Structure 1
């Protein structure tokens, strides 16, 4: 073991590696979805579950893991989470059935729940502006990590095949586990919180049913009893989850805290930005790989990964731009500006997608919007949250972001099919997403004014 000074110096790099690598592992989905559909001979909407399963588990695991964020189990929880991710990537390497692949991808989703814990560690270890910078850095690494993971895993898949990409993920996750074991500090100040397993079951069951109905409705028929029954059952379970949570003494998610002044706007934008981000990423991959009359660029998986390079680079720039705007113009402009940057990206791609350069420009703008928006969320929330509730507040915001990721992943392909597919379906889906960003930007302005009136 290294000395205490060495541990302190390597703490932030370790946390950044943790959040980056878990984002890279979670990105082992979108650019590989068409290849998975070919390899396992399944429909594109079914193959999309290799991504959606990861995001769904991430959304459900985040509040469960977040219950330990302020307790002495924080360090072992992070280590166990990384071990599960490593095991999941190793399972996905095995060339067995599509169900085994999805199971491995689901295990990898646990890594997405570790970001709130990393932020809680940073808040305990740092103070003042260094803490704000660290939180912003950790928040944006999920975007940058996905952008790095797409071209990296696509290149490995192009050269070594589909399962070689998951082998790379196994090595990266294992290396991160070793770093975390060596340099991550423990916490013994607060007892761990109780986990509401009933709430977790209701939430996961409801989301799974709704997403199945959305993703498979095109095949089963939108008016079929199975689609309608699953959708109704899922919505019922989600309503029960809300009712249970509001009545629980130890709720999985503190819904009342989520709508407090200073938290409501970041939570709203987290959901919408997450949905828009994965709609943009998923549809971009569909555009690159498709080769239909009048639609698609007909490019290999490597190009599908490389389109994330401008997205990743501009996400880092967006993070820096958000800090400048916050310092010079104040925090009120952060969330509306981030939504408008996303809006420009989705509208541009909707109206111009015949050439690769048009896609790259739209992805660059989307990356800037992602970095700008996601790096702002935690910084805006922290001043309005007591230190003891940081883990819970960050976990809920992360849940909303992951719910947006999950719904965006499943909805984008299904909605495109519902609109008739091809160029028309592609355009209509992106314009639908664009309208949501207008609503989110308006909501952020209104909620910020309410905060200032108080």
Structure 2
């Protein structure tokens, strides 16, 4: 059964200032309060999701697992966000949007508590999976912002919410590292639980209670196929060094991942009437470029992040490490985050000289320059900081450009679905990058298994290659196409 054509008639929740008999200033105050809560929602969930990255070496040591296995405390979080984003997006597409957001935040709180308790590495991974559900709430926050804000402030608010996946990590890394250095890994997750609880309270007090859109059905089989295929593929990437390319396990698992993803695409396009992800919408000219770039740019971003965190913490005796503490490793994301915000703020100025379709590839090229800088110069801390600044500016331009491109090319009613899929690809890129960089480092490791300086060079060059490919894709697929009228 093929899906019926989408009704492009817009059903928009009136701005908050028009819902009550109060003065216009009171309505604007309520709009600001809701927007502040949405920004807190998007940023706090990004902070909690990023708590794994700077802690990976410490978790590997404390839990007695390999560095590659410890990296899964980051990978599973983004994978969970990618898989649950369409489910949450569909469940929150109607009048249940507010309870879905509140329930999702409650799960994040419980996941943070589970990760903090001394129940072993398996319980920590499960808690991280639950924390990843918070990432799937960002598309709902973007949809709410589009509904309640007037046209003059809507675009800037959507770009800000989209960028929080980057700036949130920039806040989470140094905070988590500082807490861990003084109080241990568990304390970082307890703080994540507190932050999530405060966000839950803010959203409960401000997010509107009603919505006029029709509720959607949940495609649980589609979610299982997507999650199984993506998870299996990430498992192959992370374990190919241990299994061996010639092992029968590697091609068998790769074939299983491709089969699951292929069945998911067939199920989504041909069978289910209300799919979690509208692939026809995602493949629409103008949207496809932003979606493919989200996957590649997300991959490049977390490759750079992982490389920087490992280099800063590694002992100087390794030949490549700088020998700093976990606190300094966490601070590496501060310049990246600041530069990301600057890149986002500079985007309107850049659009005076270039078209919106050119901003996305330009940001990817800028990011590639930062990765090349890290590949060539990383023997001093200031060199790594410079690389992160350059990459962060490019990342800010790229992620700020994506929502605007998608909004231009989809009907208003489908914004939530389109943004959810873009977030799915972004999170899959994050998880792929965090896994891929460890695989590359292991492939170039010494016979003893120790990481090498050449491995870090190869990883940084790979990140540059991924970013360069993202620029080509963004330019080629983002060439002038007619935009959809948003009414």
**Fold in common (TM above 0.5):** yes
Whole-Å Cα distance in 2 between the matches of residues 51 and 209 of structure 1?
Answer: 16
The 8 Å contact of residues 78 and 431 in structure 2, kept in 1 or not, is answered as yes
The reply to whether residue 435 of structure 1 matches residue 435 of structure 2 is: no
State whether residues 46 and 216 of structure 1, in contact with CA within 8 Å, keep that contact through their aligned partners in structure 2: no
**What does 1:154-173 align with in structure 2 at a 5 Å threshold?**
154-173=177-196
Supply the distance in 2 between the matched residues of 1:296 and 1:449 (Cα, whole angstroms). Answer: 43
Match of residue 77 from structure 1: 100
Q: Is the 8 A contact 1:345 1:362 kept in 2?
A: yes
Q: Does 1:370 align with 2:395?
A: yes
**Cα distance in 2 for residues equivalent to 1:264 and 1:220:** 34
Deviation at 1:151, TM superposition (A): 0.2
Deviation, structure 1 residue 225 = 2.9
SS of 2:479's equivalent? helix
Moved more, 434-443 or 195-204: 434-443
Separation in 2, partners of 1:184, 1:363: 36
Where does residue 412 of structure 1 map in the other structure? 437
Deviates more, 1:432-441 or 1:112-121: 432-441
Relative to structure 2, which stretch is displaced further, 118-127 or 5-14? 5-14
CA 303–252 in structure 1, closer or farther in 2 if over 3 Å, else same:
same
**Contact 2:54/2:330 (<8 A) preserved:** yes
- Establish whether residue 285 from structure 1 lines up as the match of residue 285 from structure 2: no
Q: Secondary structure at the match of 1:188?
A: coil
> For structure 2, which runs of at least 5 residues remain unmatched after alignment?
1-19, 446-450
For the pair 1:449 / 2:473, whether they are aligned, the reply is: no
* 1:209-288 aligned within 5 A: 209-247=232-270, 248-288=272-312
Query: Secondary structure, in 3 states, of the residue corresponding to 1:415?
Result: helix
SS in 2 for 1:224: coil
1:249-292 CA distances to partner (integer Å, 9 max, x unpaired)?
21121111112122111112111110001111111111112225
> 1: CA distance between counterparts of 2:34 and 2:159?
15
In 2, distance between residues paired with 1:439 and 1:293? 32
Structure 1 stretch displaced more, 17-26 or 182-191: 182-191
> Partner of 1:191: helix, strand, or coil?
coil
Compared CA separation, residues 268 and 86, structure 1 to 2 (3 A): same
Distance of 2:318 and 2:457 partners within structure 1? 16
Q: Does the Cα contact within 8 Å between 2:92 and 2:101 map onto a contact in 1?
A: no
Unaligned ranges ≥5, structure 1 = none
Matched position secondary structure for 2:275: coil
From 407, 412, 422, the equivalent of 1:387 is: 412
Q: 2:203 aligns with which of 174, 177, 180?
A: 180
Partner of 1:199: 222
Q: Separation in 1 of the partners of 2:255 and 2:417?
A: 29
Q: By how many angstroms is 1:433 displaced?
A: 2.3
Q: Which residue of 2 aligns with 1:27?
A: 50
Q: Residue in 2 aligned with 1:145?
A: 168
**Deviations for 1:167-196, whole angstroms, at most 9, x for unmatched residues?**
110100000000000001133311211111
SS at match of 1:249: coil
CA contact (8 A) 1:342 1:437 kept: yes
Q: Is the 8 A contact 2:159 2:404 kept in 1?
A: yes
**Other structure's SS at 1:76 match:** helix
Q: Is the 8 A contact 1:25 1:108 kept in 2?
A: yes
Deviates most, 359-368 or 220-229: 220-229
CA contact (8 A) 1:69 1:116 kept: no
In the TM superposition, residue 416 of structure 1 has moved relative to its aligned partner by 1.7
What is the count of residue pairs matched by the alignment?
Answer: 453
CA contact (8 A) 1:69 1:391 kept: no
Instruction: Name segments (4+ residues, structure 1) moved above 4 Å.
Output: none
Tell me which of 318, 324, 345 is aligned to 2:343. Answer: 318
Aligned residues of 2:47 and 2:168 also touching (Cα < 8 A):
yes
Q: CA deviation at 1:312?
A: 1.1
Contact 1:325 1:331 in 2 (8 A): no
Q: Is the 8 A contact 2:84 2:136 kept in 1?
A: yes
Query: 251-260 or 221-230: which moved more?
Result: 221-230
- Please give the alpha-carbon distance, in whole angstroms, between the structure 1 residues aligned to 2:99 and 2:212: 15
* Residue from 452, 455, 479 that aligns with 1:422: 452
Moved more, 220-229 or 163-172: 220-229
Distance 2:208 2:386 in 1: 42
Confirm or deny: 8 A CA contact 1:199 1:252 kept in the other structure: yes
Q: Which secondary structure does the structure 2 equivalent of 1:236 belong to?
A: helix
Q: Which residue number in structure 1 is paired with residue 3 of structure 2?
A: none
Name the structure 2 match of 1:300: 325
CA–CA separation in structure 2 for the residues paired with 1:106 and 1:112: 11
Q: 2:116 aligns with which of 93, 100, 116?
A: 93
Task: Give the aligned CA root-mean-square deviation in angstroms.
Answer: 1.7
Question: What is the distance in 2 between the residues matched to 1:411 and 1:201?
Answer: 23
Aligned to 2:63: 40
Residues 206-235 of structure 1 show CA distances to partners (whole Å, capped at 9, x for unaligned) of 111111122122223333233332222122
Deviation at 1:437, TM superposition (A): 2.0
Q: Distance in 2 between matches of 1:324 and 1:129?
A: 17
Shift of 1:163: 0.6
Task: Please give the alpha-carbon distance, in whole angstroms, between the structure 2 residues aligned to 1:173 and 1:35.
Answer: 23
Pick aligned residue for 1:121 from 144, 163, 170: 144
